[in-house]
Amino acid sequence: MSVAVIYGSDFGATRAIATRMAARLRGRAVDIKEASVSDFEENGLLILGCPTYGFGDLQSDWEDRIDVLREADLTGKKVAIFGTGDQGTYPDTFVDAIGMLYDEVTARGATVVGFTETDGYDYIASLAERDGKFVGLALDEDQQPELTEARITAWLARLS
């Protein structure tokens, strides 16, 4: 199955995670700044990665290029989402960006996979939480970097 990991990253943490995921799944990592509609449509598994900035904002490149995603037909497409956030500094908007991407892809017909438990996190609210689970993989490189690798490994095993 072909895999594309499309990500946005300003400071490199999300890019590094996306690159590791793509390598493990023998896929390719694509910066949203360079992504085309076909990058969204032509892969068996699409993984989207986005950090949450400020008080619940999408990363700036995702904001600038969201129309590329909106042009894609994701009907029946298998999509997984991951994001980085800081539950200590922004407990009211922890990983909101993955909730925003979830809304975008489901509106375009995608089937989202890779929901994860909220246990082990200490936050107040998140747009990424639906029915008691995160709509994807939530990572906190600021407060819980020691848990990142195990979380990624377990999540990827469930996707493939």
pLDDT digits (tens, 9 = 90+) for 84-142: 999 999 999 999 999 999 999 999 999 999 999 999 999 999 999 999 999 999 999 99
User: 131-157 pLDDT, tens per residue?
Assistant: 999 999 999 999 999 999 999 999 999
Q: What domains does the chain contain, in order, with CATH numbers?
A: 3-159 (3.40.50.360)
Confidence of residue 12 (pLDDT cuts 50, 70, 90): confident
Strands 129-130 and 133-134: antiparallel
Whether pLDDT at 67 is above 90:
yes
Q: Dump the DSSP string for 102-127.
A: HHHHHHTT-EE---EE-TT---S--T
pTM for the full predicted model? 0.95
Tell me how long the chain is.
160
Q: What is the mean pLDDT of residues 15-30?
A: 96
**Beta strand 3-7 with 45-49: parallel, antiparallel or unpaired?**
parallel
d(CA 99, CA 47): 14
